[in-house]
Amino acid sequence: MDLSAQKEKFSEAYVLAVAATAGYGTYKPSPDDDSVDFGIAARTRPQPNGVVTMRSPRLELQLKCTAAPTPLGDSLSFPLKLKNYEELRADNFVIPRILVVVLVPDLADDWLKHSETELCMRRCGYWVSLRGKPATSNTKSVKISIPRQNQFTVQALQAIMQRLAKGELP
């Protein structure tokens, strides 16, 4: 398997691990021709306190994986193909979409560490919603800035899905 395919599979494994730990199901659209690599689905039940929630919220993800160094400032920069940018910035999708960028060490041998007591996926995923971002005159790619505080963690995913259940955006 070439390095690009390894990165793709590792980013998928990262998202699957986060979603499973958060208690959500996943699905993989086929074919991937709409800038959606994975979907996450939650099962919700009516709330006894009368809070109105949307049933079964869903979130769709475009996944990217890079061996870029750990960002030093408040955000990381990622070059996104124009096609993906245009499809992720649209504001007329029924199911909200986000970009998830997974950072990994340079060497694939360093991506995963495990023992009898733990499994460690190195390094981290970050997410950003591009919904409503402006059009661009770029012809190939757009440099995306992702706040470092937007780590794609179990808690972050649960918070996003709770917002979606309330009819809000990610």
Of 79-83, 153-157, 166-170, the least confident: 166-170
What is the b/e burial string over 53-89, where b = at least 16 CB atoms within 10 angstroms of the residue's CB?
eeeebbbbbbbbbeeeeebeeeebebebeeebbbbbb
| Across 79-104, average pLDDT | 97
- For the entire predicted model, the pTM comes to 0.93
Query: Does 68 score more than 90 pLDDT?
Result: no
Look up the CATH number of the domain holding residue 89. Answer: 3.40.1350
**Domain residue limits at 70:** 3-165
Query: Does 3 score more than 90 pLDDT?
Result: yes
Confidence of residue 17 (pLDDT cuts 50, 70, 90): very high
pLDDT in tens, 102-116: 999 999 999 999 999
**Residue 114 in domain:** yes
Q: Name the domain count of the chain.
A: 1
**Residue 102 in domain:** yes
DSSP per-residue string spanning 78-140:
EEEEHHHHHHHH-S--SS-EEEEEEE--SSGGGSEEE-SS-EEE-SEEEEE--TTPPP---SS
Q: Would you state the pLDDT for residue 129?
A: 98
**Residue 41 in domain:** yes
**Residue 54 in domain:** yes
Give the integer Cα–Cα distance in Å for 111 and 25: 24
**Residue 170 in domain:** no
**Residue 121 in domain:** yes
**Residue 139 in domain:** yes
**Residue 89 in domain:** yes
